[in-house]
Amino acid sequence: MTGSTTDVSIVPGLFGADPLEYGRAVGDVSRTDADLLHLDVMDGVFVPDISFGLKAVKSVRKAFDRRLDVHLQVTRPESHIDGLAEAGVDLVSVHVESTPHIARLLRDLEKSGIAAGIALNPGTPLSSVEEIAHLVEQVVVMAVNPGTSDFLPYTVDKIRRLRADLDARGLGHIRIAADGGVTAERAAALRAAGADRLVVASALFQDPAGVESAFRSLGAIAAGA
């Protein structure tokens, strides 16, 4: 895993970088030991923002030689799977709110050779993943409402309850990713609650100390070092 500990990963979220500096930002991440780079694919419908399209994903794929983690925040996510598979994406997380056929979509990801994740908006109950959690590598718990930056403290307890449920069901190997508003001040609490992947965007790419230094610092803080 990444970061400065063996049990928590700092996952850079490229959307937090200056859009004029995306290429340099990917290079900065490559100089860390991050094993995942997180790309938010947004369509302006499911969430207000529009972000990386397939062409951008392919370009990042060429520039980054480790795993690409795509967070699909789109309507009709099934229409994106073939293109993402062709682009060489490694992990795709799909919102349970975005499709009535989440189990079928997870199966399609498996058939395409892509590891699957499921994502939950803050107001979506944990019960919505109960029947499908065993099919995925990770569950992404949004700590903000998508398209906003306001951290919602109650999501920390949501992560805690999810971790307890997964462990009780013998699914402790499934990763929990906290996404949205993750900062140095919140990292330790999120990890203590059971998140073992912390998706860090603005707090990483806008740190005056630079990406490499911020990455090391966040990993140490999350680990309680």
pLDDT at 225: 59
pLDDT at 5: 34
179 is catalytic: yes
H or E segment at 203?
A: helix 202-205
All residues at 6 or more sequence positions from 164 whose CB lies less than 8 Å from its CB, including other chains: 194
Nearest Cα to 28, choosing from 222, 188, 216?
216
Residue 57 pLDDT class (50, 70, 90 cuts): very high
Question: Is the pLDDT confidence value at 6 over 90?
Answer: no
What are the extents of the domains in the chain?
Answer: 9-222
- Amino acid at position 68, single letter: L
Residue 223 pLDDT class (50, 70, 90 cuts): confident
Q: Where are the beta strands (DSSP E) in 17-174?
A: 36-42, 67-73, 91-95, 115-120, 138-142
Residue 175 pLDDT class (50, 70, 90 cuts): very high
Question: Is the pLDDT confidence value at 215 over 70?
Answer: yes
Question: Is the pLDDT confidence value at 65 over 70?
Answer: yes
Residue 148 pLDDT class (50, 70, 90 cuts): confident
Token pair for residue 97? 């709110």
Architecture per CATH, 9-222: Alpha-Beta Barrel (3.20)
pLDDT at 45: 94
pLDDT at 193: 97
Query: Tens digits of per-residue pLDDT, 152-165?
Result: 999 999 999 999 99
Nearest Cα to 36, choosing from 70, 59, 5, 4?
70
Token pair for residue 144? 């903000």
Q: What percent of the chain has pLDDT over 70?
A: 97
Token pair for residue 129? 């993943």
Given the residues 43, 179, 196, 207, select the one marked as catalytic: 179
Question: Is the pLDDT confidence value at 80 over 70?
Answer: yes
pLDDT at 72: 97
pLDDT at 147: 75
Q: Average pLDDT, whole number, for the chain? A: 94
Given the residues 40, 43, 90, 207, select the one marked as catalytic: 40
Q: Give how far Cα 95 sits from Cα of 39, 72, 121, 216, Å.
A: 14, 7, 8, 30
H or E segment at 202?
A: helix 202-205
Mean of the pLDDT values across residues 139-144?
A: 97
All residues at 6 or more sequence positions from 47 whose CB lies less than 8 Å from its CB, including other chains: 73, 146, 147
